[in-house]
Amino acid sequence: MNSWLILAVLGAVALLGGASFLMRWYWIDRNASDLLSRAEKRHGEGDLKGAQAEIGRYLKLRPKDDAAMMTLAEWLESSKPSPRSTMQLHQILSEFLAKNPDRTDIRKRFVKVSVAMGRYQEVIEEHLPRLEQEVLADKELFGHIVRSFQDAKAWDKAVDLYLRAIENNPADASNYDRLVALLETQGSQINDVRSVAEKFKQSAARPAPGFEDRAGRDADRAGRSERELLIERILAVMLRESQPESEGSLALAGYRLRHDQPDAADQIVEEVLRVEPENSRAVMLAIDVALQKRAKALVERDEAAAESARDRAETLARQLAAQEDPEWSVFPLLGQMYLESGDIDGAEREVRRAVSAVDRRVAALPPAERYKLDAISMQFRANWALAGLLLSREFQRDPQRRARALEELESLTEKFREEVINPKFLELLEARRLVAERDWALAATKLEAVRDGLTSLPDAIRSVDEALVECYEHLQNPDAKLKTYERALKEDGSWSSGRIGLARLRAQLGQDEKAMGELELLPKSGTLSVAGMRLAMSRQLRLPAQKRNWTLIDQTLRSAEKENAWTPDVAALRSELLLLQGQADQAEEHLAEACSRNPANRALSEERVALILRRIDQPVTDRVTRAQKLVDEAEKQHGDQPSARLLRAQIAVLGDAARAAEVIRELADRTDAFTPEQRTQLYRGLAAYAQAAKTPGLGLELLQRAHESEPDSVDLLMQVAAQAVQVGDDALFASTLEQIRKIEGPDGPNSSFMAGVQKLRESSRLNEKSDAESPREPAASTSEAGQELVKSAVSLLENAVAARPSWALAHRFLGAALQELGRDGDALKEFQTALRNGDRSPETLRVIVAYLQRRNQHPEVLELIRSVEEFSPLMVPEEISRAGVASAIAAREPDEAMRLSRNIKSPNPNDLVTRARLLIAGNQNTAEVDRLLSEATKAGPEQPATWQNRVAFLVRDGRADEARKVMEEAEQIVPAEPRSLRPRTLGICYEILGDLEKAAQKLEEAHGGDCHELVAINEHVNFCLRHRMAAKAQALLDLMLDPDSGLTEAQRERAKLSAAQLKGGAATSYAEFETALKALGMDSAGVTEVSLPNLRAQAQVLSRSQLRRDRVRLVAILEELNDRDPLFSAAEKRQLALMYELIGKREDALGIYRKLRQADSTDPLALSGFIQAVANEKAPSLKLQKEL
């Protein structure tokens, strides 16, 4: 009974459970079927989002329904993607392929998703092995695989894939074209191009057209790399094999155009258009050719050629736009042309046609194709062109258009929000608006932030980078601009205009080697690289004269001249080269001939004027007269131009500095016919010449006028502020600083710099006030306050140079501030950095020249001055020319010394004496020497050197009687006060005449035993030493050391030193010798603790001794000087080498001679010392004999 009951219960439970399960299964199946039906219904109604949600819920109930899974995948692919939907699609396809690995159709779709997500290694490692047979037959898949290789930097695999594609379908021109682009942009990254070379080794006996048509092709081919020749062979094969033929021809034309060969490209395109006049691609290329020709003509300032090229481009664009279904990208081009000509309505019409054409084209695509990168990029470019037009300066100047533009920008923003997948586009549009409104700092910040979100859209990235370059240009931040270029080119090496911009920027920053490297990375051109040639010349100019080698530059120019020697670029470069080679007459003649052959080219005529003004080998009056005449002729032919006015200003400053300001002011008037940009150019240039004419007030006025034309230019504001500091206009300085802060923000490098300058200015004022109130004893509190201001300035300026390391002006001011704090070593480094970064200001030159002269680096001083003269002869201050004269004399370059002395327009008496001595040394023009020395004594009768040199010259010339008459003149003209001046002057003159008794008498009279007449006593001491009057010299030194003489501590130490040296030189016993050495500090301390002057005095005394003990001591002293003194001279090094020889250390001696020869291979004393040292060797080694 119980058993049956139990069984019945169990049965009932089982039955109930089964019924429940069946019922649940029934309802799940019914719900799932209902969800699927609802999903399909929503999809049919166009509710893609709802359909995806319904089928997603269905798959939770039926997770193994592959058909439903693929349906959801299709719906996701045909809808606007988002990061979430893309990830969902990736997961669905991944799960499906895990169960169905052989479904290649699904795998192809998965590749597209992986590429969109940037999972390139996933494509290469997981999908490519299963799709090897499909890649070459499916163009879209082929593109995805190539992109994966390139983004994964698997360049060799990409090359191999292109080679396989060419072998599979040799008629497809696109594969050749892309292979060439890859070899060009990533050639250095490809490990092995032998497979490519082998493939095309016998394929083309000759390069493609446009290469061998150039004059001197054999020389050109010899000068090209193997890779370039390989590319030419690939292009030739493409041209021969491609079908239709026009595709290969147009690919070749595009290549020629990218390589700055518009004429060759034009010829190819014209041939295609003769056969296929409606070929849209050919017409677009023809437009690009015309625009490139126009750009080149504008650079050369050939207005006629530029206008002709523009007309050609516009005609072609109109023809293409009139076709039934034109290429949409022609409309923005046509719109830009209309905008440039002032037809804003026409520009707007064409840009809107572009947007409409793109919208129609995208709407015609299947839903799954509308959100692919190509369609998105096309929409972005068209709408970006519209945004650019609405935000253009021309559009914004009209109040009505501006209001309409702002309203439409709102709707455009909504369009981007609704239809574009990437929200970064909205931020990009906002940043573009800020650029148009010239809010550079905020725009740059937004652009930097938005850039990372656009990595999959190269067109958008390029737009961002171009806008960033513009922002940093206006913010006067070349370092940020440099980083922008470097980052962009690292990601996309094919941006040729960006690489040219980077090369120019590096050249501006003084990075010539790196600039040349950038130009070498550009696609090689069939025409001469003007920028590259100028950089090459600049590099040679920086070398010492004897190390310059112009051969390669000359050969390159000759190669270009075989084609056409008289094109403006080639002719100007040849003239420049001749001038740099010292052939100024030939340079001028060559440029004159080029002008006659290109009469319509304004740039050449102005280049000719500039060359004449640079001819420092000719008198100033001749240069001015000839230049003025040429400018008059150019103005008659080309009309009134800002560049011509600037040449007139340069002529005025060079010729008549007194009238220069008046001329400059006249040149700044009557500018209504100029554009705002031209006015800015004119005022800025004239301001620089006003500064050169020493009229800073006028310079400031002109800079303010330039600022009115360009009110948001940080560069201009910085110049205004600097000029305001110079003229002491505090109110203007403060308002300018405020404007800079508004533009770049409160913590920008420019405002930091200006705040630092302001602190320095306040410190200077405090010091001036302190000196005025108490010139002898300035208040300690004021001094401390000034020091604190300078320290604050240093901190601000250090912030500025940290943000902008290439900023020469900031480094200069930082150097000046550090000098104020007594940190001369750090200051020198800042001035050197400023010079490297292009600063050629008198302040920087003064510090650097003084440093080089202290180190006896006189050739370097001359090279520095020449480089500044090459940049602008007007920028070399007279004090630097004087320093150059001294360095030229020290470097034994009398001709250079004379040339520099002639550049001193207002010579002082010392300048006249120096010029006379140079003529004397060259045995030139006695009458001119007489005139100069006579003029010197009249201009500086209070300067003893003028009389002494005049008397010395007459005595040397055998005219002692005239010399005595000059002395009689001196008796009358030399001022009576100070009372020591006249007898001191006459005393040295009598010494020159040989009347030592009268000389001694006059020198004694000069000081009269008064210990306070230090200059006169010192002169008398030197006289005694010259004529071996040791006792008298000692007595005079004792007089100088009188406690009441007023000697400073440094002067007293020098006097003691002289006395000790005198005793050492006059010693008659070894005991006196040792006493003199002890007085100089020997033996009381080690050599490391003795001052450098004392060490040198010890060395001078010890050099008299022949004892080995003293020679060993002398070697120790000279070694210490060599270690401690950076100014240890070549003569002292030779002395050390000789001492080494004398004490038996010949290897050390030879080592010094080798270093001296390495520093100057032509030094005869170093050569003879080395030869003698080797000759003294008893058994010199074979190596040493060979070296000898």
| Of 23-27, 598-602, 786-790, 1162-1166, the least confident | 23-27
The answer to whether the CB of 394 falls within 8 A of the CB of 344 is: yes
Is pLDDT above 80 for 288? yes
As a whole number of angstroms, the distance between CA 418 and CA 431 comes to 19
The answer to whether the CB of 182 falls within 8 A of the CB of 162 is: yes
Angle, helix 960-973 to helix 981-993, in steps of 10 degrees: 180
In the prediction, which pLDDT does 1058 show?
64
Same domain, 1103 and 1182: no
| Of 18-22, 272-276, 429-433, 678-682, the least confident | 18-22
Same domain, 343 and 414: yes
Mean pLDDT of the chain: 78
Look at residues 404, 421, 438 and tell me which one is the last residue of a structural domain. Answer: 421
DSSP state at residue 1087: G
Which pLDDT band holds residue 459 (cuts at 50, 70, 90)?
A: confident
Please state, for a pLDDT cut of 70, what percent of the chain lies above it. Answer: 79
Q: Is 14 within the bounds of a domain? A: yes
| Of 618-632, 980-994, 1004-1018, 1131-1145, the least confident | 1004-1018
As a whole number of angstroms, the distance between CA 200 and CA 233 comes to 7
In the prediction, which pLDDT does 481 show?
92
| Of 88-102, 192-206, 230-244, 1115-1129, the least confident | 192-206
Same domain, 1170 and 1086: no
| Residue pLDDT, tens place only, 84-127 | 777 877 877 788 888 888 888 888 888 888 887 778 888 888 88
Same domain, 361 and 398: yes
In the prediction, which pLDDT does 586 show?
92
Is pLDDT above 80 for 192? no
In the prediction, which pLDDT does 525 show?
55
Q: What is the torsion angle, in degrees rounded to the nearest 10, for the CA atoms of residue 1008, residue 1014, residue 1015 and residue 1016?
A: 20
User: ∠166-167-172 over CA atoms, to 5°?
Assistant: 35
Same domain, 1053 and 1113: yes
Same domain, 334 and 382: yes
pLDDT average, residue stretch 877-902: 83
Which pLDDT band holds residue 922 (cuts at 50, 70, 90)?
A: confident
Cis omega before residue 244 (within 30°)?
yes
Same domain, 1107 and 1149: no
Same domain, 335 and 357: yes
Same domain, 410 and 333: yes
Rounded to 5, what percent of the chain is helix, strand, coil? 80, 0, 20
Is pLDDT above 80 for 285? yes
Q: Is 75 within the bounds of a domain? A: no
In the prediction, which pLDDT does 218 show?
37
Is pLDDT above 50 for 223? no
In the prediction, which pLDDT does 408 show?
77
Same domain, 1112 and 1146: no
Which pLDDT band holds residue 484 (cuts at 50, 70, 90)?
A: very high
As a whole number of angstroms, the distance between CA 749 and CA 804 comes to 7
pLDDT average, residue stretch 457-462: 78
Range of the domain at 516: 499-523
Is pLDDT above 50 for 219? no
Question: How many Cβ atoms from other residues are within 10 Å of residue 868's Cβ?
Answer: 19
**Helix (H) / strand (E) containing 604:** helix 602-614
Specify the 3-state DSSP secondary structure of 1085: strand
Task: Say how many domains are in the chain.
Answer: 5
| Of 658-672, 757-771, 938-952, the least confident | 757-771
pLDDT average, residue stretch 381-404: 76
Which pLDDT band holds residue 598 (cuts at 50, 70, 90)?
A: confident
Which pLDDT band holds residue 299 (cuts at 50, 70, 90)?
A: low
Of 484 and 1113, the structure prediction assigns the larger pLDDT to 484
Q: Is 920 within the bounds of a domain? A: no
Of 813 and 80, the structure prediction assigns the larger pLDDT to 813
| Residue pLDDT, tens place only, 151-181 | 778 888 888 888 888 888 889 888 888 888 8
pTM above 0.95, yes or no: no
User: Could you tell me which of 338, 360, 361, 340 has the C-alpha nearest to residue 350?
Assistant: 338
Cross-strand pairs, 1085: 1082
Of 969 and 395, the structure prediction assigns the larger pLDDT to 969
Which pLDDT band holds residue 214 (cuts at 50, 70, 90)?
A: very low
As a whole number of angstroms, the distance between CA 167 and CA 176 comes to 11
As a whole number of angstroms, the distance between CA 698 and CA 1058 comes to 54
Specify the 3-state DSSP secondary structure of 272: helix
pLDDT average, residue stretch 245-253: 89
Is pLDDT above 70 for 1041? no
Look at residues 57, 76, 100 and tell me which one is the last residue of a structural domain. Answer: 57
As a whole number of angstroms, the distance between CA 718 and CA 732 comes to 12
pLDDT average, residue stretch 382-391: 79
Which pLDDT band holds residue 1068 (cuts at 50, 70, 90)?
A: low
Q: Name residue 1055's amino acid.
A: A
Q: Is 410 within the bounds of a domain? A: yes
| Residue pLDDT, tens place only, 504-524 | 888 877 777 788 788 777 665
User: Could you tell me which of 799, 955, 806, 879 has the C-alpha nearest to residue 508?
Assistant: 806
Provide φ and ψ at 1085, rounded to 5°. Answer: -155, 160
Q: Is 1161 within the bounds of a domain? A: yes
Q: Is 1068 within the bounds of a domain? A: yes
The answer to whether the CB of 1166 falls within 8 A of the CB of 1150 is: no
Is pLDDT above 50 for 25? no
pLDDT average, residue stretch 59-75: 66
List the structure tokens of 463.
């737009």
Is pLDDT above 50 for 26? no
In the prediction, which pLDDT does 27 show?
45
Look at residues 1124, 1148, 1170 and tell me which one is the last residue of a structural domain. Answer: 1124
Q: Is 352 within the bounds of a domain? A: yes
Q: Is 1104 within the bounds of a domain? A: yes
Which pLDDT band holds residue 258 (cuts at 50, 70, 90)?
A: confident
Of 151 and 129, the structure prediction assigns the larger pLDDT to 129
Is pLDDT above 60 for 29? no
Is pLDDT above 80 for 1033? no
Name the H helices within 710-823.
714-727, 730-744, 749-773, 780-803, 808-820
| Residue pLDDT, tens place only, 311-366 | 898 898 888 888 888 888 888 888 888 888 878 888 888 888 888 888 888 888 77
Q: What is the Cα 353 distance to its own chain's centre?
A: 42
Same domain, 1078 and 1162: no
| Of 379-393, 1043-1057, 1158-1172, the least confident | 1043-1057
Same domain, 344 and 371: yes
Which pLDDT band holds residue 1055 (cuts at 50, 70, 90)?
A: low
